[in-house]
Amino acid sequence: MKLKKIMAVVITGMMAFSLMACGSSTSGGNSTSSKGKDDKTITVWTWDDTFNVPAVNAAKERYLKDHPDVTINVVSMAQDDIVQKLNTSLSSGTYDGLPNVVSIEDYRIQNYLQSYPGEIKDLSDKVDKSKFADFKLNSMMQGNKLYGVPFDSGVAALFYRTDLIEQAGYTKEDMQNLTWEKYIEIGKAVKAKTGKAMLTIDPSDLNQLRIMMQSAGSWYVKPDGKTVNIDGNEALKQAIVIYKQMVDAGITKQVSGWDAFLAAFQKGDVATVPSGCWISSSIQKAEDQSGKWAVAAIPRLGANPKSVNASNSGGSSWYVLDKVGNSDLAADFLASTFASDNDLMNELVPKIGLVSTLKSASTSENYSKPVPFYGNQEVFKDMADWTTKVPAVNYGLYTYQLESVMSEGMQAIVSGADIDETLKKTQAQAEAAVNK
């Protein structure tokens, strides 16, 4: 039995509980909801009250101006709860209580498309995929069919404290076009001159490895999205070498969990935050540090000629559940807003700090406005530019499952285990898990 089938069975058995009643039916795209054939209600499930939720509410407000007969309900819940509820219902073919539109993380969507064929609506005739950043499309396509509306860019960036970098003897110019090898060199100087760590690491979160790998167009699986790609993956090995060098150099601050990660830079304990652009709003919460931060392109792997100063970390997109009811109306809502509305994207720049993957949004007025917190740098314009350079990879079905296996290998390597031998063992363990 394949791992995806096992996961569906386990989740169904362990996490079956009553779904929130949002009003839906078990019928198809042109069918009616449980409220009747004339009902025009769309329910949206998403997470993050500071990002996705206000984005949907802004889209809702704009859509209802031209469609006053439509009702749109926005339901905020934790991402893990959304995952659990979707798996429970889709694996049992029960649609009552499910939403019409749902946010799904890019790392997860292929598992839904392949585990539950026919459940996610094909939006190929509603959305022009050529309007979006190429790297964002891979995760939501099967063949030539597009199943989602791309939303936020998780483009990686290097957020850094200009004052600490300057105390270490470096300038903003030195932070441009960086390799990770040069980054470590600067980190050593920062530690020596300021006593501050260069970055945080969380042994349970391998985000840094993902960023480094994708900068070279590589992932835990090969381009087919299924074949495990750990042993013999040069980009992964090089990323591990860099990771261990940072730890050995003493320039990292170990944290555990999200709150500790945020506290590290908000309290001034680290000089840089290499992360997805979405972390910007959390950095800016440290108002006393305004004017002391700048943003540069993410470093590249100096030992890998395919690696570029652009990568991605996270991100999600919008999907329509085809068998819930009102799926054509839900598709029109997405097509009219997130798939085409530049004014909406422009509105969301100052509102939530959105870096959109809609290409035309990069010319919107707010993308070119200087941001005082970052020393009046036009950070959104820079991030939009980096978004166009992110290498596309196939995240496949098992990102988090494979990373769970990989994290054990990483702990062994950091503790001194041989990299090549550990990667061989990890490859075998990962293949065994996937092929059960």
DSSP string covering 208-226? HHHHHHHHTT--SB-TTSS
Establish if 253 belongs to a structural domain.
yes
What residue numbers bound the domain in which 170 lies?
155-312+393-435
Q: With respect to residue 374, please indicate whether it lies within any of the assigned structural domains.
A: no
Residues 168 and 303 in one domain: yes
Q: Are residues 191 and 334 in the same domain?
A: no
The predicted pLDDT at position 98 comes to 97
CA separation for the pair 179, 236 (Å, rounded): 16
**Which residues in the chain come in under a pLDDT of 70?**
1-37
Give 102's strand partners.
Answer: 45, 319
- Whether residue 273 is found in the same domain as residue 239: yes
> Residue 412 sits in a domain of what CATH number?
3.40.190.10
pLDDT at 50: 87
Cβ-based burial of 310 (10 A; exposed 0-12, middle 13-18, buried ≥19) = buried
The per-residue pLDDT for 16 is 39
Whether residue 324 sits in one domain with residue 286? no
pLDDT at 37 (0 to 100): 58
Last residue of some domain: 324, 342, 363? 363
User: Are 147 and 228 members of one domain?
Assistant: no
Q: What's at 180, amino acid-wise? A: W
- What total number of domains does the chain contain? 2
Residue 406 lies in a domain: yes
- Asked, for residue 378, whether it belongs to a domain, the answer is no
Would strands 41-46 and 71-76 be described as parallel, antiparallel, or unpaired? parallel
Q: Is residue 381 part of a domain?
A: no
The pLDDT tens digits for 85-103 are 999 999 999 999 999 999 9
What confidence tens digit (pLDDT) does each residue in 74-87 have?
A: 999 999 999 999 99
